[in-house]
Structure 1
Amino acid sequence: MSAVRRRTIDEVLAHARAGLQRLSPDEAWDAIGRGALLVDIRPAGQRAAEGDVPQAVVIERNVLEWRLDPASDHRLPQATGYDLQVVVLCSEGYTSSLAAAALQDLGLDRATDVVGGFHAWSAAGLPTTQQGRVLVGG
């Protein structure tokens, strides 16, 4: 019988991040300007409480791979190919790292995430919306 290799979530997160070229909020903003797809994976309740990013496509985490895999019958029109740069955004930059690593496992080698997530995005003064109002500087 073989021993089961167990890792803590901190080890799993470190492994995921080792394969990412994570972006600061300003770097993510620049990437969007160059055609990257910003994907917000926060659940609806979290987006309602914290705000939204107008440039983001919302794809909740539980369907992310199906929506962005270019080979999936359930992909979004934006899932144009494996060379698409996908920048994943969550609340604080933890879940997004795991999600970006999962997208890389699908062959989306340019997938990455935003260091600090939505909180850092908002603190950097990048555009957000809340209750239909566009805010700059959160």
Structure 2
Amino acid sequence: MRAALFSATSVSSAAPVPVAAPVAFHRLAVERTYPTELSAAVARGAVVVDIRSHAERAAQGTLPGALAISADIVAERLDPSGPGSLALAGDRDVEWILVSSDGTGSHGVVADLHAQGLRRVTHLVGGYEAIRAARLVEAVARAQHVSEDVARVTAH
């Protein structure tokens, strides 16, 4: 039916028809965790790592229950085979959620950790600002593993 709309003289077979370049689709560089998923993630045992600088934490507020490890050394601390790694990093089943100030700083760190072979690492979309806006700052501190750690430390 559509072909009937064109006359034989309006279409030239000699002229090449331009073809658009194929659009490349790429997988997302890193997995993400959304603020609305944070409570469920820590309830299942995810470890939240606050990678903001000391100055950012002082200005914005702390994230109770999160490990505070600056972005420049977090890769060393989470590397299971590294000499400066956390004891918890030896367990490859640990789920890590990195939190930066606004979510952009943690994206690249997660990509670097994935390149090191760590697969269960995500970044929090919107970072600490999103947690604070959603009133979820205390969600991390309510995690069972955090309560157990606090009990162990205070028992000594």
TM-score category, normalised to shorter length: 0.7 to 0.9
Partner SS state of residue 49, structure 2: strand
**Unaligned residue ranges in structure 2 (runs of 5+):** 1-25, 139-156
SS class of match (2:90): coil
Superposed displacement of residue 103, structure 1: 1.1
Alignment of 1:24-103 (within 5 A): 24-103=34-113
Q: What TM-score does the superposition give when structure 2 sets the normalisation length?
A: 0.68
- Bigger shift: 71-80 or 45-54? 71-80
Q: What residue identity is the alignment partner of 1:94? A: T
Q: CA RMSD in A?
A: 1.6
How far residue 72 of structure 1 moved from its aligned partner, in angstroms, is 0.7
Q: Percent identity?
A: 38
User: Which of the residues 101, 105, 110 maps onto 2:120?
Assistant: 110
SS in 2 for 1:112: strand
Q: Structure 1: which 5+ residue stretches go unaligned?
A: 1-14, 129-138
CA distance in 2 between counterparts of 1:29 and 1:96 reads: 19
Structure 1-normalised TM-score?
0.76
Number of aligned residues: 113
**Structure exhibiting the larger radius of gyration computed from Cα positions:** 2
Match of 1:123 among 115, 133, 140: 133
CA contact (8 A) 1:54 1:127 kept: yes
Tell me the distance in 1 between the aligned counterparts of 2:70 and 2:53: 6
